[in-house]
């Protein structure tokens, strides 16, 4: 579903990603981990076609729903206006049952600017599903959330339909263990570990 081979990415003069190779199969839920600055967001942007690699190949077999890091829904729109707009752009319609699925029923008419960080993240997660993408890519969806909202975010991600491929960037070891069987760990722009989250102390490769 996502195939990356011998990927090198340069930003300005710096080589940020070095010889990255991995394969994600349809329906896999894969965590992308690594310390700050390891290259997770650069890899995610490359997969989304937002950064042109120096060399190597990326092939993506399907449509992507992408939630970038540290973004916010349009502050001038209400929750319903924002989600209707995003779904419209993707040729889809936002149905009311999605408000309850994402815990937004009481916030339908609130301005996005007035939501807490946790609620903004839920609105963005709801937006990711517009157009029924085959692949969901989430860049640190629970960063900055309190433990309760983190748990809720994990539950929402776990509820994603089987068969949808998920790539989720996170620092959170319990989140990695809870959500995914497979983890890719980056260290200084290289893969330091790729494999199961069930075996060994994979977090030593951070």
Ligand X SMILES: Nc1ncnc2c1ncn2[C@@H]1O[C@H](COP(=O)(O)OP(=O)(O)OP(=O)(O)O)[C@@H](O)[C@H]1O
Which parts of this chain interact with ligand X (CB under 6 A)?
A: 11-12, 16, 34, 36-42, 69
Closest CB to ligand X among residues 1, 184: 184
Alpha helix positions (H), 90-170: 97-101, 117-128, 147-158
Distance in Å, CB of 83 to ligand X, minimum: 26
CA distance 62 to 34: 26
**Shortest Å, Cβ 87 to ligand X:** 28
Would you state the structure tokens that stand for residue 62, as one six-digit string? Answer: 């399907």
Residue 183 near residue 33, CB atoms below 8 Å: yes
Is residue 203 classed as helix, strand or coil in its secondary structure?
helix
Q: How far is the CB of 96 from ligand X (least distance, A)?
A: 35
Backbone φ/ψ region at 87: left (φ over 0), alpha (ψ -120 to 50), beta: alpha
**Minimum distance between the CB of residue 171 and ligand X, rounded to whole angstroms?**
6
- Contact between 184 and 20 under an 8 Å Cβ cutoff? The reply is no
Nearer to ligand X, 39 or 65 (CB): 39
With respect to ligand X, which residue has the nearer C-beta, 130 or 189? 189
Q: How far is the CB of 131 from ligand X (least distance, A)?
A: 25
Three-state SS at 177? helix
Cα 198 → chain centroid = 21
| Distance separating alpha carbons of residues 142 and 63, to the nearest angstrom | 23
- Our CB check for ligand X shows the closer of 11 and 57 to be 11
- Closer to ligand X by CB, 41 or 172: give it: 41
């Amino acid at each position: 579903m996502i195939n990356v081979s011998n990927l090198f990415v340069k930003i300005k003069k710096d080589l940020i990603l070095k010889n990255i190779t991995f394969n994600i199969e349809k329906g896999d839920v894969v965590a992308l981990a690594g310390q700050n600055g390891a290259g997770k967001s650069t890899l995610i942007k490359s997969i989304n076609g937002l950064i042109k690699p120096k060399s190597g190949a990326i092939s993506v077999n399907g449509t992507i729903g992408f939630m970038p890091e540290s973004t916010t829904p349009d502050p001038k729109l209400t929750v319903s206006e924002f989600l209707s707009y995003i779904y419209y752009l993707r040729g889809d319609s936002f149905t009311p049952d999605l408000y309850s699925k994402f815990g937004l029923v009481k916030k339908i008419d609130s301005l996005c600017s007035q939501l807490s960080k946790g609620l903004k993240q839920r609105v963005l997660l709801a937006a990711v599903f517009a157009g029924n993408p085959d692949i969901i890519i989430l860049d640190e969806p629970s960063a900055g959330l309190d433990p309760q909202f983190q748990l809720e975010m994990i539950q929402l991600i776990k509820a994603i339909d089987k068969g949808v491929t998920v790539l989720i960037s996170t620092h959170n070891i319990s989140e990695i263990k809870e959500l995914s069987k497979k983890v890719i760990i980056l260290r200084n722009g290289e893969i330091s570990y790729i494999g199961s989250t069930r075996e060994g102390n994979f977090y030593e490769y951070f």
